[in-house]
Structure 1
């Protein structure tokens, strides 16, 4: 699973890295202790009133809410979606088909439990390269507001997870689907209808990235700042 993560890159860096053509307003600042329902940067491709889909960087709410839901807050956790079943679950299957995204990260946190002690670890790529979490998104309408209200639509997103492989399996049996750059275009392609075959292909493409992930012990995750990803020596 992935319940906390870090994205410390500036907006301009993300725009360049992901070949973004349009950046939304009010994008979130760098953060080192992102939690479900927090605002996060989301890379997606959407026409959004234009003739052709455009790659965009938007601010989204980390926890997917399907458009048919009457409430923004779901009764069950939707910040992660299991890759094995996402294409068949009512909450996610529409997004698998046509609303796929990437949620950039510098690292994510996982806890190792030994007895009653839970120790946090920061998980990252070997060269501290960007982690591109395969995600899904929706635009949720707040029907209590007029359709022309600026808050009528809320972008919501989830991170796909898979069975852990490599060393990180020592910490947890699940890990995010971490896409390599070679698969970004295919995953984001708004003209391609997605299905379980595409999700499985994403998981396969992500395997070498997942197998290479490294981790180290960190201190308690309190507050929000770069000190949270400093290695704990003891």
Structure 2
């Protein structure tokens, strides 16, 4: 599971470096993400995608909770900010975006909680340095029968926890090394269960290398880099 994460403004430079390495940097490339330390579902998140329409790499904002185009409402009856990888190619909500609409969602790390309600302990899970990239899916949505603007929405894939993190939560967001990012988002690569399983296998080493420590409890509206400071 991944229900809260954080990302600083250094991600603009990090993603730009990655795109330059691909040799596919668009002329109008100008990422401008601002640091946020307590990102919640249904709010805006940054996503890196490879547009099937014009094969341009784009670093854009999306609403965190994927909404399939056939949905009557932008808030489905069930949570869609995470997508379980088990049997994902057979699920109505996920199989279409898995096929051609995959993305990378960068982060400095994410939060999980342990303990009983009322006394839960938050943990900050993160790489030793730099950013991680969550495997994600995206979809465009707008109200049926309208000419309203399309809304870009996205979800983060999850899988069973690696042993290293199982004492905190039984699910992990799927993290991918940069060497797999371009492959994952390539819309010409068939998105099926085999590709999802490949991502999970690659994720194992990435997740095993993540560090974690307790942080002070915080509220939904709290923000700032102090949220990721180790608790005394």
TM-score above 0.5, yes or no:
yes
Considering fraction of residues, name the structure with more strand: 1
Q: Is the 8 A contact 1:27 1:59 kept in 2?
A: no
Task: Report the counterpart of residue 231 of structure 2 in structure 1.
Answer: 232
In 1, Cα distance between equivalents of 2:150 and 2:117: 44
Deviation of 1:85 after TM superposition, in Å, equals: 2.2
Q: CA RMSD in A?
A: 2.0
2:197 to 200, 214, 218: 200
| TM-score, reference length from structure 2 | 0.90
Structure 1 stretches of 4+ moved >6 Å: 23-26
In 2, Cα distance between equivalents of 1:44 and 1:26: 13
Task: Report the counterpart of residue 207 of structure 2 in structure 1.
Answer: 210
**Correspondence list, 1:22-37, <5 A:** 22=26, 28-37=33-42
**1:166 and 2:163 correspond:** yes
Distance change in 2, residues 1:175/1:17 (3 Å): farther
DSSP-derived class of the 2:120 partner: strand
Deviation of 1:91 after TM superposition, in Å, equals: 0.4
Q: Is the 8 A contact 1:27 1:58 kept in 2?
A: no
In 1, Cα distance between equivalents of 2:145 and 2:37: 33
Task: Report the counterpart of residue 122 of structure 2 in structure 1.
Answer: 120
**Correspondence list, 1:1-234, <5 A:** 1-10=1-10, 12-19=12-19, 21-22=25-26, 28-48=33-53, 50=54, 53-113=55-115, 117-125=119-127, 127-143=128-144, 145-146=146-147, 149=148, 152-222=149-219, 223-233=222-232
Deviation of 1:27 after TM superposition, in Å, equals: 5.5
Deviation of 1:128 after TM superposition, in Å, equals: 1.9
Gaps spanning 5+ residues in structure 2: where?
none
DSSP-derived class of the 2:115 partner: strand
Across the two proteins, how many residue pairs are aligned to each other?
Answer: 225
Gaps spanning 5+ residues in structure 1: where?
none
DSSP-derived class of the 1:182 partner: helix
